[in-house]
A = this chain, B = another copy of it.
Amino acid sequence: MNTFGRLFRIHIFGESHGGAVGINIDGCPAGIPLSKTDFEADLARRKSGAKGTTPRKESDQPELLTGIFENKTTGAPLTILFRNENVRSKDYSNLKKTPRPGHADFVAQHKFGGYADYRGGGHFSGRLTLPLTAAGVVAKKVCENLNIEARLIKAGGESDIESAINKAIEANQSIGGIVECKVNNLPVGLGEPFFDSVESLLSHIVFAIPAIKGIEFGSGFRAAQMTGAAHNDNIIDAKGKTETNHAGGINGGISNGNELEFRVAVKPTSSVSTAQNTMNLQKGEVEALKIEGRHDRCIALRVPPVLEAATAIVLADLMLLEQKAPRVIN
């Protein structure tokens, strides 16, 4: 469902063109200083204005609706709302009739018996990464001694991001990318032996982010081509420091104190300018669909702050579970 986490537990809600998108954080420690300005940096990174992104015009101002008093979290559920302001009145019913390839239009209507809000992707919209990013801002404060950093390391298969974007713009194409996330200063012992391994929890939330198609930890898919002797990380001090880091900071699902490292594959934006075939469900025949408007050339550009948020949410929860983050900030 729309819930994630055990002690630091988030509930996400809202639609792209409904009244609002938002998130509710249950189990947030009391006493965390929090004001609107705290959200500015990460929300701005997500919104971006970089070449290759075309966010809709929204002020993206968080409303701290509940769980906050005198600019501190109270320990009661924290609700953060983003009212949708720039909702165009145009007719979106086409999305129900001719589902867009690569989007959730078809499955949404099918799953929910035709009742899903189809406007702008409804509850499936990438706009829901906005409240997720906001929850990440809070989560980062819960595990403030950790250093979480994600960045786009490849776009369209190239390491020169700027050139790849320019080429995509010229060719009137959308492209995908690879985002890498690293976390330093993690204690040894986060995560559970089996189902709640660090990889399990991170991948669970990461695949909630629209457009993610793959994830790998440490040496990842390259590990499949290595020998054990080459892959194993020799332990070189009493705190568990390793010579190499093919494991990506995790053994047996548990953080080992070295740098946590993982990468995700982001598919190219599904909304493209060229015509594509899809079923017209009303007529019962295939027809060419052209999606109007301007679209992100490379949605991966906006993924880093979302990925950091997802990571912080998992780690805040694990730090609380291990009693390494307090339930009340003093």
- What residues of chain A have their CB less than 8 Å away from a CB belonging to chain B? 1-4, 6-7, 9, 11-15, 18-22, 24, 26-27, 30-31, 63, 65-69, 72-77, 79, 99, 101-104, 106-108, 110-117, 119, 121-124, 128, 154, 156-157, 168, 171, 173-178, 188-189, 192-197, 199-201, 203-208, 210, 212-238, 240, 242-243, 246-248, 251-256, 265-272, 274, 276-279, 281, 284, 286, 300, 321-323, 326-330
Contact = CB atoms under 8 A, between A and B. Distances in A.
A168 to B, nearest CB: 8
Contacts of A254: 104, 107-108, 111
Contacts of A243: 277
A141 to B, nearest CB: 14
- Which residue among A225, A246, A274 has the maximum number of chain B CB atoms within 10 Å of its CB? A225
Contact of A122 (B3, B74, B219): B74
B200 A208 contact: yes
B14 A79 contact: yes
Given A73-B115, A271-B228, A216 B173 contact: no
A194 B2 contact: yes
B234 A11 contact: no
Contact of A173 (B3, B113, B227, B327): B227
Given A113-B31, A203-B207, A208-B194, A235 B106 contact: yes
A107 B240 CA distance: 8
Contact of A210 (B101, B119, B252): B252
A19 to B, nearest CB: 5
A181 to B, nearest CB: 14
Contact of A220 (B27, B115, B213): B213
- Which residue among A13, A156, A253, A269 has the maximum number of chain B CB atoms within 10 Å of its CB? A13
A75 B115 contact: yes
Given A200-B205, A216-B265, A238-B281, 9 more contacts: A1-B27, A15-B67, A18-B65, A69-B119, A176-B231, A178-B224, A200-B208, A214-B216, A323-B327
Contacts of A205: 195, 200
Contacts of A247: 102
Contacts of A69: 15, 18, 115-117, 119, 122
B30 A175 contact: no
